[in-house]
């Protein structure tokens, strides 16, 4: 039976309405799904450690964007203005003058690593006289060195040594030179949390191979990049990660940066 022109037109208009409805629904869902294509249990990193080493310090990612990708992490700020600590969804800026401030969503970072912290293992740590001994102990606890790990260490520490770097002025120096202007703080019998990540050796250039830790006190008044510590009793929470999302800056500094070189010596000076 042949369909009349009127019937064909009606069917066509129904199809158009269905297509428009499907398009509208997809647009409505997009704002709440900025990371729907990735697993929630993954690392999100903006820029690379090599970019930071050669002085690419202009913020490229807002903290509003960063918070959509994790509630736990470390990093720095536009112009290298201090150390970033994210814990329990709260983001802090540990400045070179010793102050610790909450971070505005509009602030920007040139380098940060975050994730939604979901530990698989929690266990007590043995005493460690210094950071080197602590890292050896952690290595012995890892099931394999070939993954990324997020680590949280909570306790009261007999000794903590941390640093922060002041904001830099253009033309920016390399990270090793900037870190030589760091302010170092030392504390005894301080309660707080060491947070950070372990990066496998094959990811050299993307992030610091091995451990990279920051610290924040329980009262949120003290914080910075961890240089050394002593542990008597502490609790480790460990989160193994097998997925990395890397967001590279879209700016001329990164495009023209001297990346891909061997910056190992500068990295040791700057971070260790």
Domain ranges of the chain: 1-33, 43-271
Fold classification of 43-271 is 60s Ribosomal Protein L30; Chain: A; (3.30.1330)
Number of H helices, E strands in the chain: 7, 15
| All residues at 6 or more sequence positions from 233 whose CB lies less than 8 Å from its CB, including other chains | 124, 125, 127, 155, 156
Percent pLDDT > 70 in the chain is 81
Neighbours of 255 (CB within 10 A): 10
Q: pLDDT value at position 227?
A: 97
If pLDDT is split at 50, 70 and 90, which confidence band does 30 have?
Answer: very low
Rounded CA-CA distance 137/145 in Å is: 13
**Lowest-confidence range among 36-45, 99-108, 193-202, 231-240?**
36-45
Per-residue pLDDT tens for 141-195? 999 999 999 999 999 999 999 999 999 999 999 999 999 999 999 999 999 999 9
Tens digits of residue pLDDT in 214-267: 999 999 999 999 999 999 999 999 999 999 999 999 999 999 988 877 655 655
CB 138 within 8 A of CB 183: no
Check residues 101 and 7 and name the one with the higher pLDDT. 101
d(CA 118, CA 137): 21
What confidence tier does 22 reach under pLDDT thresholds 50, 70, 90?
very low
pLDDT at residue 146, as a whole number: 97
């Amino acid at each position: 039976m042949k369909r009349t022109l009127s019937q064909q037109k009606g069917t066509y208009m129904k199809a158009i309405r269905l297509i428009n409805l499907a398009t509208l629904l997809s647009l409505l869902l997009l704002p709440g799904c900025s990371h729907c294509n990735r697993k929630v249990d993954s690392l999100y990193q903006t820029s690379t450690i090599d970019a930071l080493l050669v002085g690419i310090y202009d913020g490229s990612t807002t903290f509003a964007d960063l918070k959509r990708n994790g509630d736990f992490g470390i990093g720095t700020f536009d112009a290298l203005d201090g150390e970033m600590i994210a814990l329990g969804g709260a983001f802090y800026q540990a400045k070179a003058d010793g102050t610790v401030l909450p971070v505005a969503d509009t602030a920007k970072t040139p380098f940060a690593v975050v994730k939604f912290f979901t530990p698989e293992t929690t266990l007590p740590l043995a005493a460690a006289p210094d950071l080197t001994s602590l890292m050896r102990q952690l290595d012995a606890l890892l099931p394999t060195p070939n993954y990324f790990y997020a680590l949280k260490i909570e306790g009261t520490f007999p000794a903590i040594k941390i640093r922060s770097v002041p904001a830099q002025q253009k033309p920016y120096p390399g990270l090793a030179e900037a870190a030589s202007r760091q302010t170092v703080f030392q504390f005894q019998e301080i309660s707080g949390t060491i947070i950070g990540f372990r990066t496998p050796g094959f990811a050299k250039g993307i992030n610091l191979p091995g451990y990279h830790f920051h610290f924040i006190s329980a009262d949120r008044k003290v914080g910075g990049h961890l240089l050394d510590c002593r542990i008597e009793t502490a609790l480790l929470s460990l989160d193994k990660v097998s997925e990395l999302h890397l967001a590279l800056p879209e700016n001329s500094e990164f495009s023209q940066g001297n990346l891909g070189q061997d910056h190992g010596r500068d990295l040791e000076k700057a971070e260790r």
